[in-house]
């Protein structure tokens, strides 16, 4: 059974890997694409320290893109936003065009004019996936209007930057499916075949996953943290406010501190500042520092029971499509 997602992206299976900051590199992304899905290089891909200049950021991403090309002849993707500085976005767009990246993930921000970049990508026959922080009928229709190929409906169950509205994945997906004609992917809390089947039953034509692929041999997450994923469930997760909305984490000293600050009435700005200067994810997930870092995963962590290869994980999730 083929979905429109596969036809549009040129992949074998309707599964896309989320661009988790710090957690991707060419080896991991190529493994996802070689397993039949779509791998995406995330911000700080392959790095242990953030680049200090825009030029360095672009150069390191260019190098990682070229490494992926050397490891797979399958499609892969890169997001348009690689840092908090939105002024770099046009330069990233030019980089993706120069490197002929097959698929672009557009991180949808309300109020940003995406038409010029969509026109440029279409002119170079590049496919686009539009994924807003918080999906709404309005931004789904906007994505369709400007020519995006695929829309991602992200529910509150996800890891990483959680949507602003507390609407679960399996409530938001059918709403987005009913709102647009372009194919919709479900994101948030999907980590086993039951979640995949539920997403498709609600009208999704693919799944967009992150946490379940962290617990793989090829992922660069710290081994001790992978073990924590296997031993944890959604009941263990700590939710706290920050910018732009919420984060959730497995228990770490920093996560408990952020939760305490939140409960004491601290502002979102001060909570964001307390996240170890924004490097809490790198310290916790990449370096395994459970004192100064946090471990961002979605509610699907409940269904992660072993550290497997990327191919084994994708084959399990996609068993109805193989």
b/e 305-317 (16+ beta carbons within 10 angstroms → b): eebbebbebbbeb
Supply the pLDDT for residue 69: 98
CB 1 within 8 A of CB 305: no
Supply the pLDDT for residue 209: 98
Supply the pLDDT for residue 111: 83
User: For 77, phi and psi rounded to 5 degrees?
Assistant: -135, 170
Supply the pLDDT for residue 244: 82
User: For 249, phi and psi rounded to 5 degrees?
Assistant: -145, 150
Q: What global pTM score does this model have?
A: 0.96
- Residues 151 and 153: their CA atoms lie apart, in Å, by 7
Cβ neighbourhood burial of 115 (10 Å; 0-12, 13-18, 19+):
exposed
Structure-token pair, residue 52 = 């200090």
In 3D space, the residue among 89, 294, 281, 140 whose CA is nearest the CA of residue 154 turns out to be 140
Supply the pLDDT for residue 278: 63
Residue carrying the six token digits 């471990």: 295
Q: What is the pLDDT along the chain (322 residues), one digit of tens a residue?
A: 578 999 999 999 999 999 999 999 999 999 999 999 999 999 999 999 999 999 999 999 999 999 999 999 999 999 999 988 888 999 999 999 999 999 999 998 888 899 999 999 999 999 999 999 999 999 999 999 999 999 999 999 999 889 999 999 999 999 999 999 999 999 999 999 999 999 999 999 999 999 999 999 999 999 999 999 999 999 999 999 888 888 999 999 999 999 999 999 989 888 888 876 568 999 999 999 999 999 999 999 999 999 999 999 999 999 999 9
């Amino acid at each position: 059974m083929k979905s429109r997602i596969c036809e549009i992206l040129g992949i074998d299976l309707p599964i896309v890997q989320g661009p988790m900051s710090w957690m991707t590199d060419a080896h991991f992304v190529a493994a996802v694409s070689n397993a039949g899905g779509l791998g995406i290089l995330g911000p700080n891909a392959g790095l242990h320290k953030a680049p200090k200049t825009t030029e360095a950021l672009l150069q390191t991403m260019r190098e990682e893109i070229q490494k992926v090309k050397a490891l797979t002849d399958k499609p892969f993707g890169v997001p348009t936003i690689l840092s908090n500085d939105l002024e770099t976005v046009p330069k990233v767009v030019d980089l993706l065009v120069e490197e002929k990246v097959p698929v672009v993930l557009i991180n949808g921000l309300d109020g940003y004019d995406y038409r010029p970049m969509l026109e440029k990508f279409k002119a170079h026959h590049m496919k686009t996936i539009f994924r807003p922080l918080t999906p709404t009928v309005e931004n789904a229709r906007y994505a369709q209007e400007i020519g995006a190929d695929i829309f991602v409906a992200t529910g509150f169950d996800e890891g990483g930057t959680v949507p602003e509205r507390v609407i679960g994945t399996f409530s938001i997906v059918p709403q987005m499916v009913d709102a647009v004609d372009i194919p919709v992917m479900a994101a948030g809390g999907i980590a086993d075949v039951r979640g995949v089947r539920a997403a498709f039953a609600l009208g999704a034509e693919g799944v967009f996953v992150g946490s379940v692929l962290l617990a793989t041999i090829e992922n660069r997450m710290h081994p001790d943290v992978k073990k924590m994923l296997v031993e944890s469930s959604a009941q263990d997760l700590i939710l706290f406010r920050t910018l732009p909305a919420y984060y959730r984490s497995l228990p770490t000293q920093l996560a408990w501190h952020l939760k305490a600050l939140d409960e004491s009435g601290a502002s979102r700005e001060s909570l964001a500042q307390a996240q170890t200067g924004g490097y809490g994810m790198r310290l916790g997930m990449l370096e395994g520092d459970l004192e100064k870092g946090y471990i961002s995963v979605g509610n699907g962590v409940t269904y992660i029971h072993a550290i497997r290869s990327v191919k084994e994980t994708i084959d399990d999730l996609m068993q109805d499509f193989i």
